[in-house]
A = this chain, B = another copy of it.
Amino acid sequence: MALRHAVLAALLDEELSGYQVTKAFAAGVANFWHALPQQVYAELARLEKEGLVAGREVIQEGRPNKRLFRVTGEGLAELENFASSAAKPAFLREDLLVQVQAADHLDVDVLIERLTERYAFAEAKAALFEEQLRRMRGGLDEAEFLLRGARVGPYLTCRRGRDFERANRDWCRDVMEVLRSRQAAGEGA
């Protein structure tokens, strides 16, 4: 039941179309949650039916009409309720971790390929988040923004996303180094 709250949280600061919400949750951009368009639209429909968000039709010219959603009072109450109950901590759940877990039984070169891919992905995503953070800060330096800027929530979650990808990148680097050193040591023996 967290996607529903994630959608509510995404709509808090501005009225968005379903399409815009799907963009916010799209792979590669999601800073605090991830979901596919189908899930987002389904969740929006449920939320509207329950009165937690309200949608209004906007007729457009030159492109398809859209529906803009905003959070209702009930929606905000639901979020407050969600925040007041304990959050369940997430675990790391990466394919690559499974592959590295088996490292001692697998081909090192194959693993290094995987690690290189993940490294590049992490680097790119971290850069993307960094760019987003810069935009959110506007002119202010970080300390100033954190103290007085509007909307620190999204900023703080985005920072977590950036740091997560940086940690992934660094881990990939370290693992590759370890695997290469062992390979070299093994060949020497």
Contacts and interface: CB of A to CB of B under 8 A. Distances in A.
Interface of A: 2, 5-6, 8-10, 12-13, 27, 30, 32-34, 76, 79-80, 82-84, 86-107, 110-111, 114, 117-118, 121-122, 125, 146-148, 150-154, 156-157, 159-161, 163-164, 167-168, 171, 174-175, 178-179, 181-182, 185
Residues of A contacting B: mostly:
helix
A2 B185 CA distance: 31
Given A9-B98, A110-B84, A163-B171, A103 B178 contact: no
Contact of A83 (B82, B91, B102): B102
Contacts of A88: 95
Contacts of A33: 91, 93, 97-98
Contact of A97 (B93, B107, B110, B160): B160
Contacts of A121: 89
5 contacts: A12-B102, A12-B105, A32-B98, A82-B99, A101-B153
A82 B14 CA distance: 43
